[in-house]
Amino acid sequence: MATRLPAVDAVLIGFGWTGAIMAQELTEAGLNVLALERGEWRDTPTDFAPTFAQDELRYYWRHELFQRLNHDTLTIRNKASETALPMRRLGSFLLGSGVGGAGVHWNGQVWRFLPSDLKARSHNLERYGKKAVPDDMTIQDYGVSYEDLEPYYDKFEYLCGVSGKAGNLKGVIQAGGDPFEGPRAREYPNPPLDMPYAPTLFGQAAAGLGRHPFPHPAANMSRPYTNPLGVQLGACTYCGFCEKYACGNYSKASAQTTILPVLMRKKNFTLKTNSEVVKINLSADGKTATGVTYIDDKGQEFEQPAELVVLSAYILHNVRLLLLSGIGKPYDPATGEGVVGRNYAYQITSSVNVFFDDKILNPFVGAGALGTIVNDFNGDNFDHSGLGFIGGGYVGLLQTGARPIETHNTPDGVPKWGAAWKAALARDYLKTTTISTHGAVMSHRGNYLDLDPTYKDALGRPLLRMTFDFTDNEHKMSDYLTDRAAEIGRAMGGREIKVNYRKGSWDVVPYQTTHNTGGAIMGDDPRTSFTNRYLQSWDVPNLFVLGATAFPQNAGYNPTGTVAALAYHAADAIKTRYLKAPQQSLVQA
């Protein structure tokens, strides 16, 4: 029997990046806000201290900061004709856990999508015609424009103290920045990080080939920084333990380092940890969310009524909770109808290793988003005529560190173990670097999320099932990017390169990215989207769904910048319009 608790103005499900952003915005508007997080409290001096944070085995290989799959995981398959099996170990993507979520262990790569990314469907149809977008490629426009989001991208960049160099200031292209980016109102809040040897060599080689290299925008502080909330971050020390690790000296942006010091002092904000939401409750007519039901670590059930419900967990958990709560019509790939679970997408990546004989690169010096990038082949920044694919990605040399269990780049022909392997590694470790490509994934009719019929989580509820594979579009595009990367790699003038194309079906084992997107997408049409452009559910107007869940397809950029901008955009609409007319839809369908 659930204990019924006193009502709150707003309840947030999940307390990572989007939960913290929305909680800060809503409490500023005077609301009584409750955040429910099924994981635990985590903070820098106790959980991420530089006395033990540099532990590759514990954090990368034993997954200490990530979700425990024995509690909750998902099942995966490439095609609907296969039987989905559980993801028993983390691999391809690393699910976050606890306060701050994956924002604690990310790299800090902060991007804006291109204006054309946000209208991938209409833009590509217009430029390349109907053949460019096959019937099974279910891409859609986001329903917001780059201009709509610009002030919110800016807000997140200043919250996070992003270190970078603007490439387009109000329409004027700036030297040293990305000439392809959408126009921005002002410079980044911090100058770019110091650039080590390898990314500098990459930049020189790329420029020599006529590309346009620039420093990767980084939520790793290039200097001590106080953000607009008054929160202080330290300067990055290039420790090389960024992605998959938490930052020990407050120099990587996360909920903890940018928002929580202010939010946790507010009397109108409450956080409950070890409190897992198991259902979003609806009124009898299904048109209003009345609140949530959650359980604590002892399994005791609580009913938490709320005026406003915000689903701010990770995209995969968001979609599963909607399905388990019976909200929205589940997607059926056979008919193409339904919205919950549709348009799941991911990221396609590849790499090129460059081996030098004569250059000590010290690759273990690194930071999460430290590197040199070219966007010449991202989005629709280049003419796709005759190439047989749409979309693109960035090509860059990121020096995030070179932890030794992970970093065994050896040339073609070298075995993976034995004396020859050892000699090659000892010879090459300090003098090897890796160029990576990071490509878009278009949504496809057959790539979707639903509930698994067989496997259950620790609470006995069905796991989410992911049906996903790369299509021809992705493979062609990724190969193209890889070839461009190889060109730059050769031009860097090393002893040799090794080209690692992404081949075959999507494999859950090797780590790729934690850029899962879609499943409750935004759009203009309730038949093909779950939310409107303010991330407000079409069916249940007092339910907002944050996160990359909103993306109708994924672009060639890391998603967090756009996730945050959409969250701020939604928060603004809630504060300025929704609260004045609650329970009303902000957009007429």
Tokens standing for residue 22: 């929305």
What letter does residue 352 receive in the DSSP assignment? E
Tokens standing for residue 466: 């992911």
Residues 255 and 91: their CA atoms lie apart, in Å, by 24
Least CB distance from residue 452 to another protein, whole Å? 11
Q: What DSSP assignment string belongs to 429-498?
A: GGGEEEEEEEE-B--BTT-EEEEEEEEE-TTSPEEEEEE----HHHHHHHHHHHHHHHHHHHHTT-SEEE
Q: Which of 212, 216, 515, 569 is catalytic?
A: 515
* Beta carbons within 8 Å of 435's beta carbon, 6+ residues apart: 202, 351, 352, 353, 354, 395, 396, 397, 485, 488, 489
Cβ proximity to another protein, 78 vs 529, nearer residue: 78
Residues 225 and 189: their CA atoms lie apart, in Å, by 9
Q: Where does 297-445 show beta strands of DSSP type E? A: 301-311, 348-355, 371-374, 393-398, 432-439
Cβ proximity to another protein, 143 vs 371, nearer residue: 371
Least CB distance from residue 214 to another protein, whole Å? 18
Least CB distance from residue 94 to another protein, whole Å? 12
What letter does residue 58 receive in the DSSP assignment? I
Total count of residues recorded for the chain = 589
Annotated catalytic residue 384: no
Radius of gyration, alpha carbons of the chain:
23
Cβ proximity to another protein, 61 vs 382, nearer residue: 61
Residues 554 and 584: their CA atoms lie apart, in Å, by 29
Least CB distance from residue 527 to another protein, whole Å? 32
Cβ proximity to another protein, 99 vs 144, nearer residue: 99
Q: What DSSP assignment string belongs to 159-170?
A: HTT-B---SEET
- Of 251, 192, 219, the closest CA to residue 44 belongs to 251
Residues 70 and 321: their CA atoms lie apart, in Å, by 18
Cβ proximity to another protein, 53 vs 564, nearer residue: 53
Q: Are 546 and 344 in contact (CB under 8 A)?
A: no
* Beta carbons within 8 Å of 578's beta carbon, 6+ residues apart: 534, 536, 584, 586
Tokens standing for residue 497: 């390169």
Residues 163 and 530: their CA atoms lie apart, in Å, by 35
Positions marked active-site: 515
